[in-house]
Amino acid sequence: LMGHELADLELDMSSPCFPDVVTIWSGVSMYVRQQLLKEEPKAVAIKGLGTFHIKKCHFFERGTMITLRRPVFSLSRTVAQIRDLQHASVPVPGEIEKVSYKKTHLNVPYSEKVVQHCVQETLDFFYFILKKKEDADFVLKDVGTIAIRGTYVTMAFCEDFLQSLNKSTGMIEKLLTNKWVVSDKEVTLFPSRFGRVHRFPQFEITVVPRRVSLRDEETSSAVKTCLSSTGKGGNHRIREW
């Protein structure tokens, strides 16, 4: 793990960024959201976590062609390899915009150095939890939640974000009903074999339903049904267009 042993990793509670770690990650999330909501959105990557892009979906309804804008998340290979997470490389069209800590700094009252240190410290602790085979939720404010249960990964999006992308409540209902995306409201129902998950970037432990089986391959069908496009080997469970 980035040049040092996971077993020796300790979260530095006295770090200058720790009291406002949520504020800093809110700035990162805001930057991602702003990029994705542009008229011509670019793919945007959070190094060491994953990449987001917008996919336009077309379908006919009552003789009229309707276009949806569906957010897609691809888990970073760095995260996937830590615990052999179910992961597929999702093709990302066009250029990828990496989150710039200088740009993020415009949204938070901290220097670029402090922001970068805080982001990396959070990710290091996130990797540590995954290495221990614990379950985790990584919340990107006003975008969605990356939920990891066993070896399964689900990207669940905020309904407000989906609404901002599509400007139509009806379209949001269609996305959710057909499971083309998953609402972050469902994350609290995803079971864990421990009955708890570590919540980032808040560094909290929250209670979730306990999964009866201890084997990852028997993960609840509720989680399998809600898998995002990070399904193993590219076998996506959300319809591609």
d(CA 97, CA 38): 13
The secondary structure of residue 211, as a DSSP letter, is P
Q: Pick the more confident residue, 227 or 60.
A: 60
According to the model, what pLDDT value does residue 215 have? 55
For β-strands 144-149 and 136-140, DSSP reports them as antiparallel
Residue 9 has pLDDT above 80, yes or no: no
Q: Could you tell me which residue, 2 or 38, shows the higher pLDDT?
A: 38
Residue 232 to residue 235: CA distance in whole angstroms: 6
pLDDT at 88: 57
Closest among 94, 73, 77 to 236, alpha carbons compared? 73
206, pLDDT greater than 90: yes
Q: Can you give the residue ranges of every domain in the chain?
A: 18-208
Give the best-scoring range by mean pLDDT among 107-121, 144-158, 168-182: 144-158
* Element containing residue 70 per DSSP (H, E): strand 64-75
Q: Whole-prediction pTM value?
A: 0.81
Which range, 51-55, 97-101, 110-114, 236-240, is most confident? 51-55
Pairing mode of beta strands 136-140, 196-200: parallel
pLDDT in tens, 89-134: 667 777 788 898 887 777 888 888 889 999 999 999 999 999 999 9
Query: Judging by DSSP bridges, how do beta strands 204-207 and 196-200 pair with one another?
Result: antiparallel
- Token reading at 41: 């959105």
- The three-point CA angle 121-14-133 to 5° equals 40
Instruction: Between 53 and 228, name the one with better pLDDT.
Output: 53
Residue 225, H or E segment? helix 221-225
The Cα–Cα gap between 19 and 21 comes to 6
